[in-house]
Amino acid sequence: MNQFSLDTISYDKEIFFIGIGGISMSALAVILKNDGYSVRGSDFKESAATLDLEAKGIPVAIGHRAENVDGAGLVVYTAAIKSDNPELVRARALGIPAIERATLLGALMKRYKNPIAVSGTHGKTTTTSMLSHILLSAGLDPTILVGGALPVIGGNMRDGGNDYMVMEACEYCASFLKFFPLYAIILNIEEDHLDFFKDLDDIVRCFADFVAILPPEGGIIANFDDPEVICAVRDAKCSVHSYAIENKDALWRAEDILFDENGYASFRVLWKGEEQMTVKLNVPGMHNVSNALSVIACAHLLGIGTDAICDGLLSFGGTNRRFELKGTMSGVRIIDDYAHHPTEVRTTLASARRAASGGKVWCIFQPHTYTRAYKLKDEFAKSFADCDHVIVSDIYAAREKDTGLIHALDLAEAINDESHNASYIKGFDAICSYLRENAKDGDLILTMGAGDVYQIGEMLLN
């Protein structure tokens, strides 16, 4: 149980963030500064995030050096920071309290009357953003922490009042077990983060532990199209509010789903078989119908009216790196997406196929982490059927080191064994040259992955 309280930290002591440029860390740093704390931090390189923090009056040291933490009253670090990080080593040697980001976020959640956590293997950022739009449409003043840039709030965070907090809850390293939500959404549960979890059963157990955190007066919004989610919520001590597209036993359901020429859905929403509203979305794909059902159920729990729900969903046009149109090059549309798991790949390519309108779909896929590429290679290989041409770039290491278990070429060959449409090309410059020579007017180029593959689209457009 997370016993840490911000009340133990004096306002005249600095809070130091190791890796302050991270999307969640930067948001927490801004909230604490706004609360009157003295905040500073470090990151391994300068970025748009660190420059923005500096502009907000938060000093950022570039590079991790032991002396950076001197004088701090609290050190905050992410699960990705290794135990031999010089700043973390120095903090412990000096007896400075050092906590993980998730512990701080859990302590912060206790300040809000209605903390809402959005969890699941896929769709957290989109769903958090949808719910944020609804809360704002209802005239409320939520605090928002989202894993991407959301145009309506001008970034990845909004520091609002103390009545509502909506945030993403990631299962990696069981971080969300340090949180204190009153309401939680579980979108789906699949194999991922296998550098931490043993297998799918281990992941389901972790989600069940997350469900057990919620108090009896709270509520779980659960996707009953997903058997693993059903298993995870089986012993919930709070109320369970199910939603589904296929499962007719769910409380909340979508009927008469129609897609327009952009792949945007409209559908009737039923609760216990009775029609509640008709919803129109401004983002593509069947997966977003499911995401929308989850936030409709959550908004209903919060007492938000039908008009605000419909208006909020219609106003949501996506976040950055979620099927984001970057521009057009010689009649070729360039779209970027964060998909980095086989299910996400399939879902995103289905949307791309609908959007291509007869042109060819080119996918530049950057695998994210060696562990995921190795353990899910067979699943990845089957995920690209909706694509005419797949270009696999080098694996993005993120928090890992290359162990030699797998190379991007291995993944390209596995995809070829399934659909005969993949090749490996080393280096972004070479990929851009190939695309300029081969993509034709009317085609669609999709850059895909959780690393820096989005730079290819920017290189093509520039």
Neighbours of 178 (CB within 10 A): 22
> Domains in the chain, ordered, with CATH?
11-100 (3.40.50.720), 110-315 (3.40.1190.10), 324-461 (3.90.190.20)
When pLDDT is averaged across residues 273-288 and rounded to a whole number, the result is 95
* Tokens found for residue 377: 């290679």
Rounded to whole angstroms, the Cα distance separating 307 from 407 reads 51
Taking residue 270's Cβ as centre, other Cβ atoms within 10 Å add up to 18
pTM score, two decimals?
0.83
Residue 125 appears among annotated catalytic residues: yes
> How high is the pLDDT of residue 2?
60
Task: Decide if 347 is catalytic.
Answer: no
Catalytic residue, candidates 50, 103, 121, 125: 125
> For residue 456, which of 349, 352, 369, 332 has the smallest C-alpha distance?
332
Which DSSP helix (H) or strand (E) runs through 287? helix 286-301
Q: Of 14, 87, 100, 168, which residue is the catalytic one? A: 168
Q: What's the CA gap between 26 and 50, in Å, rounded? A: 8
Rounded mean pLDDT of 146-163?
A: 92
| Catalytic hit among 124, 178, 326, 377 | 124
400: left (phi over 0), alpha (psi -120 to 50) or beta: beta
Tell me if residue 168 is catalytic: yes
Share of the chain above pLDDT 70, in %: 100
Is pLDDT at 1 greater than 60 in this prediction? no
pLDDT band, very low/low/confident/very high, at 318 (cuts 50, 70, 90): confident
User: 324 forms bridges with which residues in the sheet?
Assistant: 336
Chain segment 80-122, per-residue pLDDT in tens? 788 999 999 999 999 999 999 999 999 999 999 999 999 999 9
Query: Among 128-137, 188-197, 265-274, 389-398, which is the least confidently predicted range?
Result: 188-197
Give the pLDDT of residue 255. Answer: 97
How many helices (DSSP H) and strands (DSSP E) are in the chain?
Answer: 15, 21
The rounded mean pLDDT for the chain is 94
